[in-house]
Amino acid sequence: MSYQEEFQASIDNPEKFWADKAQDIDWFKQPQNILSTDEHGIQRWFADGELNTSHLALDYHVDNGRGDQLALIYDSPVTDQKKTFTYLELRDEVARCAGMLKHHGVTKGDRVVIYMPMIPEAAISMLACARLGAIHSVVFGGFAPPELAVRLEDATPKVLLTASCGIEVARVIEYKPLVDEAMRISSHSPETCIVLQRPQADASMLAGRDHDWREGMENAEPADCVPVKGTDLLYILYTSGTTGKPKGVVRENGGHAVAMKYSMNAIYDMKPGEVYWAASDVGWVVGHSYIVYAPLIHGCTTVLYEGKPIMTPDAGAFWRVISEYGVKALFTAPTAFRAIKKEDASGELASQYDLSCLKTIFAAGERLDPPTYDWLRDTYKVPVLDHWWQTETGWAIAANMHGLEPMPPKSGSSTVPVPGFNVQILDDQGNQLKANEQGYISVKLPLPPSCLTSIWGDVERFKEAYLETYSGYFVTGDGGYFDEDGYLFIMGRVDDVINVAGHRLSTGEMEEIVGRHPMVAECAVIGRRDELKGQMPMGFVVLKNVADVDVSLITKELVSMVREEIGAVAAFKEALIVARLPKTRSGKILRKTLRCMVDGDEYTVPSTIEDPAALDEIKALL
């Protein structure tokens, strides 16, 4: 079927389309009720189907002749370790881990927080939760204790799984003190904390609460898969919104499994048995979907890489992994390629490896800027496919459907809407815009399977944030346009979310933190363009009127406050002290104008500006 036919079929009759795709996974009980509306008026997929995601990812393959095939390859240049798991081995580890969780009282519907680096135990923990029908919430290791604490309070987990440390290139980051601090400041503490001791750091244990991972695994009885409903939750993944409180995006088992399975073939052109590598982190949505769930559900071999694109040991690291394991498709964030390009512009390091196995490179997480796209395509001579998605959807909204009908890529475009996503560009009033007119990228309901159906514990926030701006549409928070050929161009967020090195962060949250400094009267944080990381946060700060202030000391304090509250990934390193902020007469800070000014882009000074001199003053400081 052509892309156009497939897409049209998904829009004309979504229920039939997804009922057909649902046949590709092994349900315990086939769904009859394909798309239903719940008591909150939210549409949900496969409500009466019964399945288990861990069964689909592991047992199904063991039972169907893939037991001896590699399921997971762990490659860790930072610890100089490599380890492989066949489907049978991974299934047994996961069943044992599920048994360990069961021993600590975890049952269907309970939450388990996972705060782990990129080690196999992170994936094993996720799949073990899925096996019990428990809901995992993975917290990215680069987040500081207050961020972990907020998630503990919101998800109220019964158990927390962690490791003694993570390793950032050569720096050992001890996790346990961070976990202890998070539990100290959080109003909710899990009853049990299970710690994997790594040789690089020895975590101190609190008797009664903390348990050793290895001992627990040795003593555990393997646990079977618990059937769950299609609409039961698989996980909660917190993501940055416009305020300090992150949003707990919820993912349902049924829709997720169906979408994951479909995407592996239709988007990534992968066949069972082939090797797929998403060079991301299990703490982000890309890691959930394409390091753990989709490749395994599809019967592929997945690579879990504990390292960086550069420095571990050099910019040839990705190409080494690809050639060593026969990776067919690589997926990572453009920032990783920009880092490689900086160190190995001529592709010399890559040329030392046999990359004939590599058929495609996929990029997402932030805009794939045309210079990086051109360089990638010219240097590695394989199709480079940008695709656009977000935590909320769990898979691509727009992509080049390589397994369906490859299309000629266009630099700067993530190509076309994925079947199931009725993408439309709307103006302020909700009117549909024509080709080449830029507006708010929205998706006409129903959303396809896998997309969020609520914010954990706050369905009203879900409706307000996503569904109420335009009736009958989901707003993505991104702006962009379709060109005359129907190619979609993503031009960036229209809210206070920024993307720093592929990490999604909230400038609103940073403003809240900076605003808490006793000397700060008000501030604005924007994302300024950055050659390596795509965007970097930058603060404009107005101080209270106090004599004899040490401006450089305050700046340092602001930088360390953001690092301590959010974590090193926030990369907030620049705070400019200004006399006043440019505002409209109604008091709205002109953040967009500030951003254009900092980036050196053209801008028009809004007629509503209160005092144009405020902008001139800042311009003089830059």
Query: Which residues are at the interface with ligand AMP (CB under 6 A)?
Result: 239, 284-285, 364-368, 386-391, 414, 477-478, 490, 493, 499, 504
CB of 388 to ligand AMP, least distance (A): 4
CB of 398 to ligand AMP, least distance (A): 8
- Using CA atoms, how far apart are residues 282 and 575, in angstroms rounded to an integer? 31
CB-count exposure of residue 158 (10 Å: 0-12, 13-18, 19+): middle
389: partner contacted, choices ligand AMP, ligand COA, none (Cβ within 5-8 A by kind):
ligand AMP
Nearer to ligand COA, 106 or 562 (CB): 562
124, 130, 136, 139 alpha-carbon torsion, rounded to 10°: 30
173: partner contacted, choices ligand AMP, ligand COA, none (Cβ within 5-8 A by kind):
ligand COA
Residues 190-221: b if buried by 16+ CB within 10 A, e if exposed? bebbbbbbbeebebeeeeeebbebeebbeebe
Kindly state the DSSP code that residue 516 receives in the 8-state scheme.
T
175: partner contacted, choices ligand COA, ligand AMP, none (Cβ within 5-8 A by kind):
none
Residues 254-293: b if buried by 16+ CB within 10 A, e if exposed? bbbbbbbbbbbbbbbbbebebbbbbbbbbbbbbbbbbbbb
CB contact at 8 A, 473 and 442: yes
400: partner contacted, choices ligand COA, ligand AMP, none (Cβ within 5-8 A by kind):
none
- Using CA atoms, how far apart are residues 346 and 30, in angstroms rounded to an integer? 53
- Using CA atoms, how far apart are residues 577 and 605, in angstroms rounded to an integer? 21
Kindly state the DSSP code that residue 583 receives in the 8-state scheme.
B
Residues 328-357, mask of contacts with ligand COA (x by CB under 6 A):
----xx-xx--x------------------
Nearer to ligand COA, 522 or 564 (CB): 564
499: partner contacted, choices ligand COA, ligand AMP, none (Cβ within 5-8 A by kind):
ligand AMP
CB contact at 8 A, 528 and 598: yes
Nearer to ligand COA, 110 or 392 (CB): 392
- Using CA atoms, how far apart are residues 557 and 516, in angstroms rounded to an integer? 11
Rounded to the nearest angstrom, the gap between the alpha carbon of residue 272 and the centroid of all alpha carbons in its chain is 24
387: partner contacted, choices ligand COA, ligand AMP, none (Cβ within 5-8 A by kind):
ligand AMP
Which listed range, 80-88, 121-129, 218-226, 302-310, lies at the site for ligand COA (CB under 6 A)?
302-310
- Of 127, 71, 66, 117, which is closest to residue 96 (Cα–Cα)? 127
**Taking CA 360 as the corner, what is the angle to CA 358 and CA 362, rounded to the nearest 5 degrees?**
130
What kind and span of H or E run contains 110?
A: none
Nearer to ligand COA, 241 or 582 (CB): 241
501: partner contacted, choices ligand AMP, ligand COA, none (Cβ within 5-8 A by kind):
ligand COA
Coil, helix or strand at residue 235: strand
CB contact at 8 A, 384 and 377: yes
Instruction: Give, rounded to a whole angstrom, the gap between the first and last alpha carbons of the chain.
Output: 55
Q: How far is CA 12 from CA 108, 420, 597, in A?
A: 36, 10, 45
- Of the residues 49, 99, 141, 216, which one makes contact with ligand COA according to CB under 6 A: 141
Q: Which two tokens stand for residue 107?
A: 């049952």
Site for ligand COA in 150-189 (CB under 6 A): 166, 168, 173
- Of the residues 106, 144, 282, 501, which one makes contact with ligand COA according to CB under 6 A: 501
391: partner contacted, choices ligand AMP, ligand COA, none (Cβ within 5-8 A by kind):
ligand AMP
Number of residues that bind ligand COA (CB under 6 A): 24
Site for ligand COA in 364-423 (CB under 6 A): 365
Residues in the chain: 622
CB of 573 to ligand COA, least distance (A): 8
Contact status: 309 vs ligand COA (CB under 6 A) = yes
Q: Which two tokens stand for residue 616?
A: 């001139």
Site for ligand COA in 531-570 (CB under 6 A): 568-569
Nearer to ligand AMP, 121 or 478 (CB): 478
CB contact at 8 A, 332 and 363: yes
Nearer to ligand COA, 229 or 504 (CB): 504
367: partner contacted, choices ligand AMP, ligand COA, none (Cβ within 5-8 A by kind):
ligand AMP
Nearer to ligand AMP, 162 or 476 (CB): 476
Q: How far is CA 347 from CA 218, 330, 352, 379, in A?
A: 46, 16, 9, 6
CB of 526 to ligand AMP, least distance (A): 15
CB of 569 to ligand COA, least distance (A): 4
Site for ligand COA in 271-300 (CB under 6 A): 280-281, 284, 286
Nearer to ligand COA, 250 or 559 (CB): 559
Beta strands in 567-620, from DSSP E residues, in sequence order: 575-577
Phi, psi of 161 (to 5 degrees): -110, 130
- Using CA atoms, how far apart are residues 289 and 132, in angstroms rounded to an integer? 19
231: partner contacted, choices ligand AMP, ligand COA, none (Cβ within 5-8 A by kind):
none
569: partner contacted, choices ligand COA, ligand AMP, none (Cβ within 5-8 A by kind):
ligand COA
Contact status: 594 vs ligand COA (CB under 6 A) = no
Coil, helix or strand at residue 237: strand
Nearer to ligand COA, 128 or 501 (CB): 501
CB of 406 to ligand AMP, least distance (A): 17
- Of the residues 61, 102, 308, 341, which one makes contact with ligand COA according to CB under 6 A: 308
Phi, psi of 46 (to 5 degrees): 60, 40
610: partner contacted, choices ligand AMP, ligand COA, none (Cβ within 5-8 A by kind):
none
493: partner contacted, choices ligand AMP, ligand COA, none (Cβ within 5-8 A by kind):
ligand AMP
478: partner contacted, choices ligand AMP, ligand COA, none (Cβ within 5-8 A by kind):
ligand AMP
Q: Which two tokens stand for residue 315?
A: 């910019």
Classify strands 534-543 and 575-577 as parallel, antiparallel or unpaired: parallel
Site for ligand COA in 454-473 (CB under 6 A): none
Nearer to ligand COA, 96 or 503 (CB): 503
239: partner contacted, choices ligand COA, ligand AMP, none (Cβ within 5-8 A by kind):
ligand AMP
Q: How far is CA 232 from CA 133, 147, 254, 259, in A?
A: 8, 26, 8, 16
- Using CA atoms, how far apart are residues 442 and 464, in angstroms rounded to an integer? 14
Q: In what order do the strands lie in the sheet with 473-482?
A: 422-426, 439-444, 473-482, 488-493
Beta-carbon contacts of 471 under 8 Å, excluding residues fewer than 6 positions away, are 430
Nearer to ligand COA, 336 or 524 (CB): 336
Residues forming contacts to ligand COA in the complex (CB under 6 A) are 141-142, 166, 168, 173, 280-281, 284, 286, 308-310, 332-333, 335-336, 339, 365, 501-503, 568-569, 571
